[in-house]
Amino acid sequence: MSQEASQDFSLGKVQVASSPQERFDEYLQSKGKRTTQQRRALVECVFEEHDHFDADELLEMISRHAEGAGVSRATVYRTLDELVEAGLLRKMDLGGRAVYEHDYGYPQHDHLYCQLCRKLIEFRSEELMAIRDAVAAKHSFRVTGHRLIVSGVCEECSHKRHRRHSPLDLI
Amino acid sequence: MSQEASQDFSLGKVQVASSPQERFDEYLQSKGKRTTQQRRALVECVFEEHDHFDADELLEMISRHAEGAGVSRATVYRTLDELVEAGLLRKMDLGGRAVYEHDYGYPQHDHLYCQLCRKLIEFRSEELMAIRDAVAAKHSFRVTGHRLIVSGVCEECSHKRHRRHSPLDLI
DNA sequence: ATCGATGCAAACTGTTTGCATATTT
DNA sequence: AAATATGCAAACAGTTTGCATCGAT
C-alpha cells in the first residue's frame, strides 16, 4: 500500500498528466498563492499512500514524516481546503468529522463503511451512475456529484465479537 | 404538506400500526424510561409535518409550538437520540450538522441535495437497493443501511442566478 | 520591499455531560 | 419515596479566525 516517493500517480486506474505537487503548484499560481514548505510537505505526505484520513491524522502523519518541519494545525486545515478546491482531495463527512481521500487521478467510487472498525471499503458501480443520472433527469436536477455510503459490518468484524468503536454513529 | 394533528401516519406510503406517540411510549417503557411532558411535546412537534430539520430548528419549532412549555436544548438533543434509537427518526450528517427526518412508517429513500438552496428532494429506487446488496454480498459485508446523497442544483435554482448558501459544502 | 503564509491562541459551532432540582411512577 | 428527567452551565471536539511575525516572490 505504501510507496516511497510520490512518483506513480496512475494508481492503477486513471492516467493523469502531472504529479499532485505539480498540479497543486499550478492551482496555487492561478490563485496568486505561494508554494511554501508546509504546503509542499503536506501534499507529499497526503499522496504518499492512498488512504482515508482526517485532519488530526494528517497532523500526526506530517509531524512524523517531515523530520524537522512541523506544520501547525491551522495550516493543515487551511491546506486541506485548498487541496479540495484544487481538485486533489475529496472531502466527506463521516460521523461528525471530515474525512479526506484522493480525488485527483482517482476514479469515482463509493464506500462500504464498517460501523465497528470504521474501515472504508471502496467499490465502483457503473449501474449506480446510470440510476443516479436517470433519477436526476426525472427531477430536472443538475448533478455535480454524489456520495453513497453503505454502512454495516465488514467481514473481519463479523467474526470478532461485537464491540462498537463509538456509541451512536452517523452514517 | 402540514397537517393539524398527528393522526394519519400512513403518509401515503406504508401502513403502520400505531402513532409515533404510541410507538415512542412503547420504546420508553421497554427501556424503563418515562413519558414526560417534554418528550410528548417533542414527538408531537416532530411528527406534525414530514420534513427535514436539525436540532436548532426543532428547538425553535418547539418553543413556538407548545404555548407555555419550553424545552431545553439539552433535552432536545437527548430526545432526538432516543427517537433515532426508537426507530422513529433517521439521522444524517449534512455539511457538518445532523439532520433528521421521519423513519417510522416511512419508506427507505434517498436524496437529491441542492447545494444552492439546501433543499432535499426525496426519491426511491428499487434498483439501487439491488445494486447495494449485490456489492455488499461480493464483499461479505452485512448491510444495516445506506445513505445516498446526489448533490447538484435543483430545477428552481438553476433558473435563479448562482449565489451559494454557504461557501464550502460537504456532500 | 511587498504581500501572502504561518503559528498561536482565542473564538465558534454543534453537541455532550455533571449536577442540583423538578417530575414521573 | 424512589428513581428518572430536566435545565443550566460548563465541557467538549472539530474547525475557523484575528493578529503579529515570518517567508516567498
Cα separation of the two ends of chain B: 26
Structure confidence by residue, pLDDT tens digits, B81-110: 999 999 999 999 888 899 999 998 888 899
Look at residue B122 and tell me if it is in a domain.
Answer: yes
pLDDT score recorded for residue A161: 59
Length of chain B as a residue count? 171
Chain D footprint positions (protein CB, under 7 Å): 4-9, 13-18, 23-25
User: Do residue A94 and residue A158 come from a single domain?
Assistant: no
pLDDT higher than threshold 70 for residue B2: no
* Residue B3 within any structural domain of the chain: no
Count: domains in chain B: 2
**B18 — pLDDT class (breaks 50, 70, 90):** confident
CA distance A147 to A130: 14
pLDDT tens-digit series, residues B21-36: 999 999 999 999 999 9
With 70 as the cut, is the pLDDT of residue A79 above it?
Answer: yes
Do residues A120 and A137 share a domain?
Answer: yes
Domain-terminating residue out of A58, A78, A104: A104
Residue contact A128–B128, C-beta within 8 A: yes
Q: Which residues pair with B94 in a beta bridge?
A: B97
User: Within a domain: residue A4?
Assistant: no
Domain identity same for A96 and A122: no
pLDDT value at residue B55: 96
Q: Are residues A138 and A71 in the same domain?
A: no
Identify whether residues A111 and A166 lie together within a single domain: yes
Q: Which residues have a Cβ under 8 Å from the Cβ of A16 and sit 6 or more positions away?
A: A9, A10, A23, A104, A105
pLDDT at B5 (0 to 100): 42
Instruction: Assign 3-class secondary structure to chain A.
Output: CCCCCCCCCCCCCCCCCCCHHHHHHHHHHHCCCCCCHHHHHHHHHHCCCCCCEEHHHHHHHHHHHCCCCCCCHHHHHHHHHHHHHCCCEEEEEECCEEEEEECCCCCCCEEEEECCCCCEEEECCHHHHHHHHHHHHHCCCEEEEEEEEEEEECHHHHHCCCCCCCCCCCC
- Mean pLDDT over all residues of chain A? 84
Confidence (pLDDT) at A167:
44
| A5: in domain | no
Extract the C-alpha cell encoding A120.
472504508
Protein-contacted bases of chain C (C-beta within 7 A): 4-9, 13-18, 23-25
Same domain, B63 and B87: yes
| The pLDDT of residue B31 | 95
Cell numbers found for residue A61: 502523519
- Considering the domain architecture, whether residues B95 and B139 belong to the same structural domain is answered as no
Residue B2 inside a domain? The answer is: no
A21 and A68 assigned to the same domain: yes
Last residue of some domain: B79, B104, B129?
Answer: B104
Are A20 and A74 contained in the same domain? yes
What CATH number does the domain containing A141 carry? 3.30.1490.190
Across residues B71-78, what is the average pLDDT?
Answer: 97
So what's the pLDDT on residue A53?
A: 95
Instruction: Confirm whether B6 is domain-assigned.
Output: no
Edge-first strand order for the sheet with B97-102 is B53-54, B97-102, B89-94
- Residue B158 confidence class, pLDDT cut points 50, 70, 90: confident
Closest to B93 measured CA to CA, from A83, A95, A162, A119: A95
DSSP B93-147: EETTEEEEEE-TT----EEEEETTT--EEEE--HHHHHHHHHHHHHTT-EEEEEE
Does residue A10 sit within a domain?
A: no
Average pLDDT over residues B70-82: 96
The last residue of one of the domains, among B46, B73, B104, is B104
Percent of chain B with pLDDT over 70: 81
> By the 8 A CB rule, do B121 and B104 touch?
no
Q: What is the pLDDT of residue A141?
A: 95
User: For B129-151, what is each residue's pLDDT tens digit?
Assistant: 999 999 999 999 999 889 999 98
Residues of chain A contacting residue B154, judged by C-beta atoms under 8 Å apart: 139-141
The predicted pLDDT at position A60 comes to 93
Give the residue ranges with Cβ < 7 A from strand C. Answer: A 28, 32-34, 36, 38-39, 70-75, 78-79, 96, 168; B 34-37, 54-56, 73-74, 77-78, 81, 96-98
Residues B25 and B89 placed together within one structural domain of the fold: yes
CATH code of A66's domain: 1.10.10.10
Residues A124 and A142 in one domain: yes
CA closest to C7 C1', residue: A72
A123 and A112 Cβ atoms separated by less than 8 Å: yes
Regarding whether A53 and A85 lie in a shared domain, the answer is: yes
In the predicted model, what is the mean pLDDT of residues A122-143?
A: 94
**According to the model, what pLDDT value does residue A131 have?**
95
Based on the number of CB atoms within 10 Å of its own CB, is A2 exposed (0-12), middle (13-18) or buried (19 or more)?
exposed
Confidence band of A114 (pLDDT split at 50, 70, 90)? confident
The pTM score is: 0.80
By residue range, what is the domain housing residue B29?
16-104
Residue-wise pLDDT tens digits, B53-63: 999 999 999 98
Say if A86 falls within a structural domain: yes
- Residue A165: which of A145, A150, A149, A151 has the closest Cα? A151
For A135-153, give one letter per residue: b (16+ CB within 10 A) or e. Answer: bbeeeebbbeebbbbbbbb
Residue ranges of chain A whose CB lies within 8 Å of a chain B CB: 81, 84-85, 91-96, 98, 112, 114-115, 121, 123, 125, 127-128, 131-132, 135-136, 138-155, 158, 168, 170-171
